[in-house]
Chains A and B, each alone.
Chain A
């Protein structure tokens, strides 16, 4: 997903566009760019966040311009790949949201005709195509160019010597804003709000012109009427797309995220030299560290490769392994402690592997090789979909290192299991957690890291003191804290740990602790001993683990909502921790 903005009017176009792009950052934020028409085309584009580099872009002159904020899916984020893209002469600037499916064929054709391409994007072909058809009439050239495109697009085009912006859409969103002596075009209404409430939604196949005289919409070359509508939305409502919180939006995206990430990792994703390391050291912070712990359990039992899992902030006190690889996990790719650990590993000459959600982030430039999650931008501070995406990457990694395993096929159906979890009514469990001062999360084996992650979610957004423990460790101290006022969330799925978990639960029950039991649907034995039972689908242990994790996110979310907490922006916390 990307975002685009265009402006023609009396203000500084660059300022309006940069501000608009910031509002579209939820659609992507790995690189951005602006082109103004004054009447020469001036371009500023770079990788990185708009908030950090806004000033340079705002220096562009002119009252006509187009801009773009990118979330790279193909072609790394770099200054070169950032939009706007220009034709050979530098006179035509194009921004694009969508995917041009036939760009490879078009590129070949245009290269044969002498066009020179500068980027690896699909968008640049549009600029050259317009140049190819340009005979002094920009609208006609755009019309001829889009007739050649296959795929989805929302396009904004401006060219030297033309006081206008040409817009076109097919299968990607584009809306015009009608102001007083000024016109806007954008991926959604957020950049317009504050300037105008009058908007025109373009339809698939529409081509629109915005100039000093006004705006016109065409289909092929016939002018058509489009109604002006009034919007009275606020920015946050649009960006959350109807959900109350980003966190809930992101929780509900997880079935798709898991599926897409799983399929995004192919045998080609992992070079041969990472397939049989003698040992692996995983370094990460927060939720990513918990994903790393899951990997440790899974990799050691499946691949028989020893795995160390270390916290990023502690790794500097350890010696990196002399042989074997160092793998870092970070959603943002900017976590300071994780980056420091990675640099240290490089200094010790360890081969390094990174797992991240953000193409082109710092970690990808330092690590020898990077694997990507396909979670899309995560806005909520509490990690949800990125955690599940990390699990998907790590499980595929184990699958690639040890193709003879029993879970690969089960993972194909995990999205369906997550969907099922999203339907659960957990209100009774929320009622138990809401008034609690302290909560315990316990699990064994693979479910131990999930207990840690569940407790982390609970404390960060509900502010209830929650602790995750390996169930067997309770007896070594924390048992002293158990009473009727310390509810316990017990993860008790069928598998190796099932029977010992059952007896642990009975022991905790004997100390009067209220128990929320999470186990396989229809598990009579568990239902009988716990206070509240929440079923998860009966399937492979790994899928049960993912399902449990999603369930614990919902439990934390609903508890925080019940306590009226600021779910998306919990106190004292930041999304990406860029200081040590």
Chain B
């Protein structure tokens, strides 16, 4: 059995987090989404995996190499849609294959359900189907896929996971896979809907927090590094090699902490928090329900809650997030109401005593005005004075 994973697209809806990595490499519970997809395939004995790379391909390839994952890499030079990406893998496909998105979480049980079908779509019920391809099914067969309809007739949506065979390439001539499926159905092809067991997409950057919380529940516990005897650790916790947990630090799982981090003394890490590698959390800081990526520094006396903190951010002392709800205008998505603390792109710097109130801050932005409250959307490379 072969599988094609599409990891060539940027995932623009997740901006600003996709400047330095495609969405497939965004870490959730310290593991890129792509890795969950590969693991689900491997768990079902599917070993012939082709990953289509494009946007920031060097980063994807480097990740695959570092993790020793046995996959073949295929390039899609220009991002011309999912069907085009699939066509890039065509020379390597023999007969039946699975097609998956590298940037949606999928579990092994779902793969087990669909892998033996010939033409099938993995579907799931979703409360807000308008963001997806809505699947219209009748008499046990898929009749139509409607891409992001404004008034959906069904709550059943496509997960972007398909079981197909080479005859599909006859229809995959346009840019997108759903159109090709549509063409196949019109041509009399039988496509079966298969209910997913567990599948989740993070559409907007703040959705990562929910996915993070969910996947943190499945980590393997580990206590590597140096943990002070006067620190207190409860629940499911994974601490990587070389990390130091200072005295009087309180960690309540599920929490994952990467390698070579320095945390504490006197810090509090509350549930549903993932902390990348080489992160420093200075004394007397509090982090809860957050996704903190690699190489971040959180200054002392800070309070980070409901936040996504991109790679290499440097938050000065007394930085605080403030969870609130407001409406954001998102590219392609229109207006979205969302409640969270902060979403910080990569390498954001904040001055001491900054308050981040329900804001999205672009990559490399610098909040130089100390003692200020930032709200709304700050673009990439901005300097706030």
Interface residues of A (CB under 8 A from B): 172-173, 175, 201, 203, 226-227, 229-230, 232-233, 237, 241-243, 248-249, 252-253, 256, 259, 263, 412-413, 415-416, 419-420, 422-423, 521-522, 537
With A226-B45, A413-B295 known as contacts, the answer to whether A249 contacts B65 (CB < 8 A) is yes
Q: A242 is contacted by which of B19, B53, B347, B364 (Cβ under 8 Å)? A: B53
The 5 closest A-B pairs by CB, nearest first: A242-B73, A242-B61, A241-B65, A416-B312, A416-B295
Residues on B with C-beta less than 8 A from A242 are: 53, 61, 64-65, 72-73
Contact B295 A252 (CB under 8 A): no
With A201-B47, A227-B45, A252-B58 known as contacts, the answer to whether A420 contacts B73 (CB < 8 A) is no
Chain B, range 15-73, C-beta contacts under 8 Å to A: 19-20, 42, 45, 47-48, 53, 56, 58-59, 61-62, 64-66, 68, 70, 72-73
Residues on B with C-beta less than 8 A from A248 are: 58
Contact B311 A253 (CB under 8 A): no
| Of listed A173, A252, A263, A419, residue having the most chain B CB within 10 A | A419
Q: List 23 A-B contacts (CB under 8 A).
A: A173-B68, A203-B42, A230-B48, A241-B65, A242-B61, A242-B65, A243-B58, A249-B61, A252-B58, A252-B61, A252-B62, A259-B278, A413-B295, A413-B312, A415-B295, A416-B294, A416-B295, A416-B311, A416-B347, A419-B311, A420-B312, A420-B346, A423-B20
Q: Closest approach, in angstroms, between the C-beta of B346 and any C-beta of chain A? A: 8
Contact A419 B72 (CB under 8 A): no
Contact A522 B381 (CB under 8 A): yes
Contact A419 B20 (CB under 8 A): yes
With A201-B47, A229-B48 known as contacts, the answer to whether A241 contacts B64 (CB < 8 A) is yes
Whole-angstrom CA separation of A522 from B366 in the bound complex: 12
Whole-angstrom CA separation of A358 from B42 in the bound complex: 35
Residues on B with C-beta less than 8 A from A263 are: 260
Whole-angstrom CA separation of A233 from B74 in the bound complex: 12
Residues on B with C-beta less than 8 A from A413 are: 295, 312
Residues on B with C-beta less than 8 A from A172 are: 68
Residues on A with C-beta less than 8 A from B381 are: 521-522
Q: Closest approach, in angstroms, between the C-beta of B354 and any C-beta of chain A? A: 19
| Of listed B20, B66, B68, residue having the most chain A CB within 10 A | B68
Whole-angstrom CA separation of A80 from B62 in the bound complex: 34
Q: Closest approach, in angstroms, between the C-beta of B44 and any C-beta of chain A? A: 10
Residues on A with C-beta less than 8 A from B47 are: 201, 227, 229
Q: Closest approach, in angstroms, between the C-beta of A374 and any C-beta of chain B? A: 14
Q: Closest approach, in angstroms, between the C-beta of A21 and any C-beta of chain B? A: 19
**9 further contact pairs, Cβ within 8 A, besides A232-B92, A416-B311:** A229-B48, A230-B94, A233-B72, A249-B61, A252-B58, A415-B295, A416-B295, A416-B312, A420-B20
Contact A420 B64 (CB under 8 A): no
Whole-angstrom CA separation of A201 from B70 in the bound complex: 8
Contact B70 A173 (CB under 8 A): yes
Residues on B with C-beta less than 8 A from A252 are: 58-59, 61-62
Residues on B with C-beta less than 8 A from A241 are: 61, 64-65, 73
Whole-angstrom CA separation of A206 from B361 in the bound complex: 47
Residues on A with C-beta less than 8 A from B45 are: 226-227
Whole-angstrom CA separation of A173 from B68 in the bound complex: 7
Contact A423 B68 (CB under 8 A): no
Whole-angstrom CA separation of A242 from B346 in the bound complex: 26
Residues on B with C-beta less than 8 A from A522 are: 381, 383
Residues on A with C-beta less than 8 A from B260 are: 263
Contact flags B353-369 to A (C-beta < 8 A → 1, else 0): 00000000000100000
Whole-angstrom CA separation of A194 from B66 in the bound complex: 26
Q: Closest approach, in angstroms, between the C-beta of A102 and any C-beta of chain B? A: 13
Residues on B with C-beta less than 8 A from A253 are: 62
Residues on A with C-beta less than 8 A from B294 are: 416
Chain B, residue nearest A200 (CB):
B47
Whole-angstrom CA separation of A169 from B381 in the bound complex: 47
| Of listed A248, A263, A413, A521, residue having the most chain B CB within 10 A | A413
Whole-angstrom CA separation of A423 from B294 in the bound complex: 16
Contact B64 A419 (CB under 8 A): no
Chain A, residue nearest B277 (CB):
A259
Chain B, residue nearest A188 (CB):
B70
With A173-B68, A229-B48, A413-B295 known as contacts, the answer to whether A521 contacts B19 (CB < 8 A) is no
Chain A, residue nearest B53 (CB):
A242
Whole-angstrom CA separation of A229 from B97 in the bound complex: 14
Chain B, range 269-288, C-beta contacts under 8 Å to A: 278
Chain B, residue nearest A171 (CB):
B68
Q: Closest approach, in angstroms, between the C-beta of B27 and any C-beta of chain A? A: 14
Contact B295 A422 (CB under 8 A): no
With A173-B70, A203-B42, A226-B45 known as contacts, the answer to whether A423 contacts B312 (CB < 8 A) is no
Residues on A with C-beta less than 8 A from B19 are: 423
Whole-angstrom CA separation of A487 from B251 in the bound complex: 56
Whole-angstrom CA separation of A537 from B20 in the bound complex: 14
Whole-angstrom CA separation of A267 from B118 in the bound complex: 62
Chain A, residue nearest B46 (CB):
A227
Contact flags B199-229 to A (C-beta < 8 A → 1, else 0): 0000000000000000000000000000000
Chain B, residue nearest A537 (CB):
B347
Whole-angstrom CA separation of A140 from B240 in the bound complex: 33
Contact flags B238-253 to A (C-beta < 8 A → 1, else 0): 0000000000000000
Q: A419 is contacted by which of B48, B94, B312, B364 (Cβ under 8 Å)? A: B312
Chain A, residue nearest B73 (CB):
A242
Whole-angstrom CA separation of A248 from B92 in the bound complex: 24
Q: Closest approach, in angstroms, between the C-beta of B42 and any C-beta of chain A? A: 7
Chain A, residue nearest B313 (CB):
A416
| Of listed B58, B92, B260, B278, residue having the most chain A CB within 10 A | B58
Residues on B with C-beta less than 8 A from A175 are: 70
Whole-angstrom CA separation of A521 from B73 in the bound complex: 34
Chain A, residue nearest B57 (CB):
A242
Contact flags B77-95 to A (C-beta < 8 A → 1, else 0): 0000000000000001010
Contact B61 A243 (CB under 8 A): yes
Q: Closest approach, in angstroms, between the C-beta of A384 and any C-beta of chain B? A: 13
Residues on A with C-beta less than 8 A from B346 are: 420
Chain B, residue nearest A259 (CB):
B278
Residues on B with C-beta less than 8 A from A537 are: 347
Chain B, residue nearest A203 (CB):
B42
With A173-B70, A413-B295 known as contacts, the answer to whether A422 contacts B58 (CB < 8 A) is yes
Whole-angstrom CA separation of A232 from B50 in the bound complex: 13
Chain A, residue nearest B64 (CB):
A242
Q: Closest approach, in angstroms, between the C-beta of B352 and any C-beta of chain A? A: 18
Whole-angstrom CA separation of A253 from B68 in the bound complex: 14
Q: Closest approach, in angstroms, between the C-beta of B17 and any C-beta of chain A? A: 13
Residues on B with C-beta less than 8 A from A259 are: 278
Chain B, range 337-385, C-beta contacts under 8 Å to A: 346-347, 364, 381, 383
Whole-angstrom CA separation of A232 from B45 in the bound complex: 19
| Of listed A230, A242, A248, A253, residue having the most chain B CB within 10 A | A242
Residues on B with C-beta less than 8 A from A521 are: 364, 381
Whole-angstrom CA separation of A422 from B66 in the bound complex: 17
Chain B, residue nearest A248 (CB):
B58
Q: Closest approach, in angstroms, between the C-beta of A562 and any C-beta of chain B? A: 15
Whole-angstrom CA separation of A423 from B64 in the bound complex: 18
Whole-angstrom CA separation of A263 from B278 in the bound complex: 12
Residues on B with C-beta less than 8 A from A423 are: 19-20, 56
Residues on A with C-beta less than 8 A from B347 are: 416, 420, 537
Whole-angstrom CA separation of A241 from B70 in the bound complex: 9
Whole-angstrom CA separation of A423 from B1 in the bound complex: 35
| Of listed A173, A253, A416, A522, residue having the most chain B CB within 10 A | A416
Whole-angstrom CA separation of A106 from B47 in the bound complex: 35
Residues on B with C-beta less than 8 A from A256 are: 66
Q: Closest approach, in angstroms, between the C-beta of B78 and any C-beta of chain A? A: 14
Whole-angstrom CA separation of A173 from B64 in the bound complex: 13
Whole-angstrom CA separation of A237 from B71 in the bound complex: 11
